């Protein structure tokens, strides 16, 4: 969302500058906008290949690209700063300098953790949430189904009752089997 707000600010500043300067490519001497046209014989000063509306549309894309580039650089800098801070700690700097860790250093680190009161290796178990047993979907029996009148009056899902192999007479569900 931050690149979008930054793009809106850049877009507004760009439009303000163009409207203040009124370049001859987009505006007439009296301040009116030029119309879009290419190689018009009559009234050539009234037409341009780059009118204000075309500038506004293209400037929207350019300003968004600029804002995305700026916000991407900020994000990359934050990532680089976090990586630099992580590699500056004594425990990780030895890992960054060489791939092998000396046994003396690892023993010293374990002793430091034990003196602080931190367990050396503790596995934290996260309880799994209850899962509802999944039942396979049953295929409905072939036959006729009638809407349950009791479920029609309540505000919920409508329920259909299996009527049987033969269609109900006059749409009544007196002989319905649940």
- Residue 37's pLDDT is 78
DSSP code string of 109-159: HHHHHHHHT--SS-PPPPPPPP-PPPPPPPPPPSSEEEE-HHHHHSSS---
99-155 residue pLDDT tens:
444 555 555 555 555 555 555 566 777 667 666 666 677 777 777 777 777 776 666
CA-CA distance, 10 to 2, in Å (whole number)? Answer: 12
37-80 residue pLDDT tens:
776 666 567 788 888 888 999 999 999 999 999 888 776 666 66
- Encoding tokens for residue 78? 């934050």
CA-CA distance, 174 to 148, in Å (whole number)? Answer: 11
- HSE of 41, CA atoms in CB hemisphere, 13 A: 0
- Residue 165's pLDDT is 79
- Residue 3's pLDDT is 85
Residue 67's CB is within 10 A of a number of other CB atoms, namely: 20
Q: Is the separation of the CB atoms in 7 and 66 below 8 Å?
A: yes
Q: Is the pTM of this model over 0.85?
A: no
- Residue 93's pLDDT is 46
- Residue 178's pLDDT is 44
């Amino acid at each position: 969302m931050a690149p979008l707000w930054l793009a809106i600010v850049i877009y507004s500043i760009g439009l303000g500058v163009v409207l203040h300067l009124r370049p001859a490519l987009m505006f007439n001497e009296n301040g009116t906008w030029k119309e879009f046209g290419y190689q018009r014989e009559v009234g050539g000063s009234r037409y341009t290949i780059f009118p204000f509306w075309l500038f506004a549309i293209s400037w929207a894309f350019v300003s968004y690209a600029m804002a995305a580039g700026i916000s991407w650089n900020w994000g990359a800098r934050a990532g680089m700063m976090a990586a630099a801070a992580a590699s500056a700690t004594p425990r990780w700097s030895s890992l960054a300098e060489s791939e092998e860790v000396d046994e003396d250093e690892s023993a010293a680190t374990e002793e430091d953790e034990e003196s602080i009161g931190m367990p050396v290796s503790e596995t934290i178990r996260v309880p799994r949430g209850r899962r509802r047993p999944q039942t396979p979907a049953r295929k409905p029996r072939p036959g006729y189904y009638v809407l349950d009148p009791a479920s029609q009056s309540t505000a919920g899902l409508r329920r259909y009752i299996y009527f049987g192999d033969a269609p109900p007479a006059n749409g009544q569900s007196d002989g319905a089997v649940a």
